[in-house]
Amino acid sequence: MSDLISQNLNMIFKTPKGETVHALKDLNFTLKKGELLTVLGPSGCGKTTLLNITAGFIRPTSGTITLNDKEIDGPGVERGMVFQQGALFEWLTVSENVNFGLRMKNNDPIETEKKVDEWLEIVGLKGFGNTPTYQLSGGMQQRVALARCLINDPDLILMDEPLGALDALTREKMQSLVLKIWKETGKTIILITHSVEEALLLGERLYVMAPRPGRIHKEYNLPFASMGLKQDLREIKKDKDFSAKREEILEMIWNMEEEIMGKEI
């Protein structure tokens, strides 16, 4: 039973002006071990709030969220996180960044070193161990962030638009890397994205969220992620089914956006 279970999750913020924002409303979902969930939605629909609650950075107003039958009430090692800008520690080298978690746990240095080398090879940064992180490109920084998160062997990996700031080519490579890691480690992954294509490509399951109040609008079970493990991602994009789903979701999001605009005007 290593599932992520959310029950009646509610999150209400108060803005400094005194308005209340219903960021999440009655969120109920279950994520089984080893599933890859992508979350999509227009801005302000509570995607990041959901991720922050799951990571334990903020507490929900009401409702519970449990991982492995344990209620989440703070950040923990079993839930690793990858941020949009990498959030690397620029005063450390690549390998120091990667072994940060293990160092904090005072693990055996020699063993740690071995592990770091392994993970650097997996993410394709072999030989970059002593490079300062500020000298890396955006894609390489995200690889470091991935390795740093994975070396801790978390049960659940949370990704907050990890590929959002990358150029198209790097992005494709990183998407393959995410799939590869997912397959090899069998981790549960929640990935938040702005890109419909990315959500379709990577998501075994896909939630489209709607704003005001933040809720799950539609849920998909998709075959493309498992296809992507075997074949080229570009080929999948040409798939007819893929295009149809993409158009459908795009239309859905457009309608939501228009609704919001209408409300505001």
Partner 1 sequence: MLTQIITFLIFFSVVGCILYGRRLIRTEKVDAVFGNPERALGGTHWVIVGSSFLLLIWLYYSWDIAKGFYPKSANELCQVGKVNDSLLGLKYQFPIEEREFKSTSQIKKENKNLEKLSIEIKNSTELDNEQKNILVSFIDKTNQLIPLLTNEDLLENETRQKIEDITGKINLLTENFQKPDYPFESEQELNDRLKAVSEEGGWGITKIDAGSGSIENTLEVPLVPATNRGLKFHTAAQELNLISDEFFKLRNHNPEFKNKIKEIKDEIKVYRNDLSGSEEIASNYAKNIVKIARRIEFASIYPPNALDKMQNAIVKFDNAQIQAQGGLRFIDIFLFPAGTIVASGPSCSEQGSGRWLPKPSDTFNKFILMSKPSVGYKDIPLLWIKMVDVSNVVGFILPDWIADILPGKYPVHTKDGIVKQNFKGVVLKVVTGDFKLLKVPVPYGHIWDSFMRVFLGLVFGIIIGVPLGLFMGLNRFAKGFFDPLIELYRPVPPLAWAPLIISVLGIDNTGKVFLLFMVSLSIMIISARAGASGTQLSKIHAAHSLGASKKQILRYVIFPNSLPEILTGIRVAVGMCWGTLVAAEFLAGTTGIGFVENVAKKYFQYEVIWITIFIMGMLGLLFDVTLRKIIDKTIPWRGKG
Residue among 38 and 133 whose Cβ is closer to partner 1:
133
Q: What type of residue sits at position 238?
A: K
Residue among 82 and 253 whose Cβ is closer to partner 1:
82
Stretch that binds partner 1, among 40-48, 98-106, 203-211, 246-254 (CB under 8 A): 98-106
Residue among 123 and 225 whose Cβ is closer to partner 1:
123
Name the minimum Å distance from CB 260 to partner 1.
Answer: 26
What is the distance between the alpha carbons of residues 86 and 251, in angstroms, rounded to a whole number? 31
Name the minimum Å distance from CB 66 to partner 1.
Answer: 17
- Pick from 34, 100, 237, 260 the residue near partner 1 by CB under 8 A: 100
The rounded radius of gyration (Å) of the Cα atoms in the chain is 19
Residue 98: both structure tokens together:
């990667």
What is the distance between the alpha carbons of residues 7 and 30, in angstroms, rounded to a whole number? 9
132 DSSP 8-state letter = B
Residues 64 to 93 in contact with partner 1, rule: CB under 8 A: 75-77, 79-81, 83-85, 87, 89-91
Residue among 140 and 145 whose Cβ is closer to partner 1:
145
Binding mask 28-67 for partner 1 (x = CB under 8 A): ---------------------------xxx----------
User: Hey, CA dihedral for 139, 74, 195, 29, is it positive or negative?
Assistant: positive
Name the minimum Å distance from CB 199 to partner 1.
Answer: 22
Q: Who contacts 16 (Cβ-Cβ below 8 Å, separation ≥6)?
A: none
What is the distance between the alpha carbons of residues 37 and 260, in angstroms, rounded to a whole number? 26
Q: In what order do the strands lie in the sheet with 36-40?
A: 79-82, 156-160, 188-192, 36-40, 205-210, 215-221
Q: Distance of CA 95 to CAs 30, 31, 118, 126, 209, Å?
A: 35, 32, 11, 10, 37
Residues 182 to 221 in contact with partner 1, rule: CB under 8 A: none
Name the minimum Å distance from CB 254 to partner 1.
Answer: 30
Q: What is the total count of residues that contact partner 1 (CB under 8 A)? A: 28
Residues 102 to 161 in contact with partner 1, rule: CB under 8 A: 104-105, 132-134, 145, 148-149, 152, 158
Residue among 131 and 195 whose Cβ is closer to partner 1:
131
Q: Is 108 in contact with 150 (CB distance < 8 Å)?
A: no
Cα-Cα end-to-end distance for the chain: 47
Q: Is 84 in contact with 162 (CB distance < 8 Å)?
A: yes
Residue among 46 and 101 whose Cβ is closer to partner 1:
101
- Which residues are near partner 1 by CB under 8 A? 55-57, 75-77, 79-81, 83-85, 87, 89-91, 100-101, 104-105, 132-134, 145, 148-149, 152, 158
